[in-house]
Chain A
């Protein structure tokens, strides 16, 4: 059944592309350094491959959703990690995208507050204009040699 096979083929290609984009996102965030510890987010299991979800919005336009698990319940650190994730992906993702970043459910007492801040682009922009905060983020997202 040619038609059936044809559409299956497109579907598979779509999924393959999505998986590739997912991997690309994962590769970008794995190497982000934790703001406090000398480890990467992957080493600390703050992010894993399954924490990235990619949904197609339109042809060549994707919604990327990241769910990360902070190591400690400390609020400001979780927000800082969220900021690093956002900055790294915004700068380095090679495809058109919208980005949502959340603390994985049930891992933090003030997760709603943190999620709201991380996803408010104006708050993120203002935070990145703070030289101290910005320096920390830049150090965390710096590509390893």
Chain B
């Protein structure tokens, strides 16, 4: 179906392609840009693998990290992606997750070395301003609350930690939550409430809120039959998507006390119900799910090397929504896709990374007629 315009001089991506999605009426067109980072000498027998992509609020930056313990920050310049900096001093072991602060000036990195580093961005340079310690073993995820004052981390030590940061960049642990019975894989904050969610190897999702001066677990979502790898709130925060080793995505909805639908609540805490399960679409573990804050599209990263996008059917009942698979990109990568992230400013721009060491950028277009 043709090729995109030649890449700008000075940067040569490995491949440009424009593909049509077979079977859909208009054809969802996607452009894939393969970004091959420079390879750095890796410690023996550990090949760099891209584990995470994070886009900041302004859409301009990307932080990529690799298993060797290095981090690379890539900046977009028009349609090209250039690796601008490599942060190799912060961690002794794999960097598992990176997260941009809401203001875009800080980067948090969670590592298997049991620490979380906070980096301050100074134009193209990053300076490690503090290292958060306390977890007993590998930190798996870190997330900033939308307010920018709170940070959450989680670990194989089964705990979730909540940290408060003040104007002087001082961090203090305000709560250690031991609700999960196994390794905690992911934490995410609600988009507009002070509500935290965590996903675990114990097959559950847990929610936490502040109560007096401490944080408490206010809900446990059961239903997945294996490890829950990742979570994403929808733009309104009314729904939460979870993805699992059980090869399903589940959509949960919040029902506050006194809700119209008559869903029972205990005390003043809302109840959460599973209102939709996407099963039969993924043939292996689903490692990540991302909910686009601009369009409501849901993207998944799967161990079958594919990326999929789902959209809610506009006419479906909000209490029992149906989602359709609107894009399926098999062989998006040549190995497991570990992470997907929607650009917060540019509609349809999706980034993915994989065990194959590549970070890919995709342009998703909703099929006509949806």
Contact = CB atoms under 8 A, between A and B. Distances in A.
Contacts of B336: 121
Contacts of B96: 122
Interface residues of A, number: 11
Chain B interface size range: 20 to 34
Residue among A96, A98, A122, A125 with the most chain B CB within 10 A?
A122
Given A120-B201, A129-B93, A98 B183 contact: no
A129 B284 CA distance: 25
Contacts of A123: 156, 183
Interface in A94-140: 96, 98, 116, 120-123, 125-126, 129
The B contact surface, by secondary structure, is loop
B288 interface: no
Interface in A27-62: 57
A116 B224 CA distance: 14
B111 to A, nearest CB: 10
B94 interface: yes
A98 B93 contact: no
Contacts of A122: 96, 140, 185
Given A98-B284, A123-B183, A129 B94 contact: yes
Contact of A126 (B138, B227, B284, B304): B138
A129 B112 contact: yes
A120 B185 CA distance: 11
Contacts of A57: 283, 304
Contacts of A125: 67, 94
Contacts of B94: 125-126, 129
Contacts of B334: 96
A139 B201 CA distance: 30
A114 to B, nearest CB: 14
B141 to A, nearest CB: 11
B49 to A, nearest CB: 8
Nearest to A121: B336
B357 interface: no
Contacts of B67: 125
Interface string B185-209: 1000000000000000100000000
B226 interface: yes
A129 B111 CA distance: 12
B303 interface: yes
Interface in B81-110: 93-94, 96
A96 B331 CA distance: 12
A129 B138 CA distance: 11
A38 B223 CA distance: 45
A122 B73 CA distance: 23
B225 to A, nearest CB: 11
Interface string B243-285: 0010000000000000000000000000000000000000110
Interface string A51-84: 0000001000000000000000000000000000
Contacts of A129: 46, 93-94, 112
B303 A126 contact: no
A47 to B, nearest CB: 23
A122 B284 CA distance: 15
Interface in B46-77: 46, 67
Interface string B21-39: 0000000000000000000
A36 B138 CA distance: 27
A97 to B, nearest CB: 10
A129 B96 CA distance: 13
B112 A98 contact: no
Contact of A98 (B138, B226, B303): B303
Nearest to A87: B45
B42 to A, nearest CB: 13
Contacts of A96: 334
A126 B201 CA distance: 15
A33 B345 CA distance: 54
Nearest to B226: A116
The 9 closest A-B CB pairs, nearest first, are: A126-B138, A129-B93, A126-B112, A129-B112, A129-B94, A98-B284, A120-B227, A125-B94, A125-B67
Given A98-B284, A125-B94, A126-B112, 18 more contacts: A57-B304, A98-B303, A116-B201, A116-B227, A120-B201, A120-B227, A120-B245, A121-B336, A122-B96, A122-B140, A122-B185, A123-B156, A123-B183, A125-B67, A126-B94, A126-B138, A129-B46, A129-B93
16 contacts: A57-B304, A116-B201, A116-B226, A116-B227, A120-B227, A120-B245, A122-B96, A122-B140, A123-B156, A125-B67, A126-B112, A126-B137, A126-B156, A129-B46, A129-B94, A129-B112
Interface of A: 57, 96, 98, 116, 120-123, 125-126, 129
